[in-house]
A and B are shown apart, each in its own frame.
Chain A
């Protein structure tokens, strides 16, 4: 296994860790884990999704909005960034985690939407 393979495998584990931390409402932990994973593998978009959700829950709205927009149209595995974000929001809500800003996120990532910003 090469160093790159090891970094890829470990960054994948950081994706899982930051996701579980979001669901456990440990938002600072989720932010730290996703950022640690991105240091290993900056191209790992799945880490960006969790990082952005963590920023949103931590009230760092502007940073979150910028990242939600930044990766529009990019691929994460077989899916688009937008689809992954929408699926994540749905999953988070099903597991009892919601935010008033979710509707705005959906506007940003829904194709053909106006892409309005957060009302802050």
Chain B
């Protein structure tokens, strides 16, 4: 019904220049949208109401009733602000409203400029630019907002040029245009996106950007896939519902990433990067499938218990775990092995040496030798619908070939049918679950380096150096 009023105003009364009826139609539409919002608020309703205010303002603009125009345009922006506030806790809903608000403010700037209302135009343009920038600061992946900034920059140049022309041809107070052009120049400056893409607190030092926090994650994800880092707003929402883990009260969550997983219904694997102190960082892993949450702590029982949870799927009772497709079986075998650990660390299926976390000092030749040994994961379905996986598994700092069997029993799988060592004491960082958090360690690597150094110095009878190396080893072990 509200849309009908807008259409009547726009297509019916506007061409006939019947302003009062036109404006009444928009006002009626606004009233209906307001009632709809009270009943069921949605970004679409807010956008429609803001749009109706725009048509109303445009209608007043034809009359030259600038105060009423200003009022209608401001109401339009206020409606967007109300919507943004309303959906502030659902970041996935506000992206479109931010873009619509920014575009609307840019439109108002253009309208005001055409009527030579330069101060209003400058104000509206500033709203457009600040809205777009604020939106991008919460989530950089909004291409529409970059378009707004680009168009706003161009609009700013036109506006500045018009203001300058006006100065030359009119008797505007001398100080106003100068202030105005300065303000417009400052707004144009804000349309440049370069620094917007920098992380908070970053500074250019010589030829390289200096960042406060490593932009790549220190610890690789639990399983391969197209991980997506949550925006700051999404992170804040997720923090409200993050499951408690052991020792969680002493952790600070710095960022969260997520990956949809196929082996549970509607499931997402989350990884929260947590810090305790300046240097210690780890990953808190959990899976959310509908309302069920699985917290990974390096043991298999929570996973087995989760797997066998009863669910009803399209009227059929079954358990949570799904191993019907190759994708599900492959992802699950990666997931399960990485999520459990033994004394030497986690079990990780690896497809190439690139999957092995190695210290930078490891020579290329050693990396190449490791790469030659690594056999990529092969998963095959058996005639009766079960799965066999042949994999290279990293355990601690050793490598093994293993055959894993997934028989569909959620309590038992996967089972290791056979395995053999293909490399031990390799220069690989190890990974452990410590107090429910996944951490990486170069302990074994550093230890073996110091042991080698001690042996070398001792053989050469350089006792002082041997004592120093052994002392470093003791310190490391302590």
A is bound by B: yes
Residues of B within 8 A of A (CB-CB), count: 14
Residues of A with C-beta under 8 A to B467: 17, 20-21, 23-24, 26, 29
Contacting residue for A20 out of B343, B458, B477, B478, CB 8 A: B458
Flag if A10 contacts B477 (CB, 8 Å).
yes
Instruction: Label chain B's interface by main secondary structure.
Output: helix
Contacting residue for B463 out of A10, A23, A33, CB 8 A: A23
If A10-B478, A24-B467 touch, whether A1 touches B473 (CB-CB below 8 Å) is no
Instruction: Label chain A's interface by main secondary structure.
Output: helix
Contacting residue for A24 out of B343, B466, B473, CB 8 A: B466
Q: Which of A44-65 contact B (CB under 8 A)?
A: none
Interface 0/1 of A2-38, CB less than 8 Å to B = 0000000110011011001101101001000100000
Flag if B463 contacts A13 (CB, 8 Å).
no
Flag if A16 contacts B454 (CB, 8 Å).
yes
**B471 contacts partner chain A, Cβ-Cβ < 8 Å:** yes
**A95 contacts partner chain B, Cβ-Cβ < 8 Å:** yes
CB distance from A73 to the nearest CB of B (A): 30
Residues of B with C-beta under 8 A to A9: 477
CB distance from A53 to the nearest CB of B (A): 14
Residues of B with C-beta under 8 A to A29: 467
Chain A residue nearest in CB terms to B477: A10
**B291 contacts partner chain A, Cβ-Cβ < 8 Å:** no
CB distance from B168 to the nearest CB of A (A): 84
Contacting residue for B474 out of A10, A23, A26, CB 8 A: A10
Residue among B343, B461, B467 with most chain A CB within 10 A: B467
If A9-B477, A10-B477, A13-B477 touch, whether A20 touches B461 (CB-CB below 8 Å) is no
In whole angstroms, how far apart are the Cα atoms of A76 and B306 in the complex? 52
Chain A residue nearest in CB terms to B462: A24
Flag if A95 contacts B463 (CB, 8 Å).
yes
Residues of B with C-beta under 8 A to A21: 467
Interface 0/1 of B39-76, CB less than 8 Å to A = 00000000000000000000000000000000000000
Sample (14) of A-B pairs whose CB atoms are under 8 Å apart: A9-B477, A10-B477, A13-B473, A13-B477, A17-B470, A17-B471, A20-B454, A20-B467, A21-B467, A24-B464, A24-B466, A24-B467, A33-B474, A95-B463
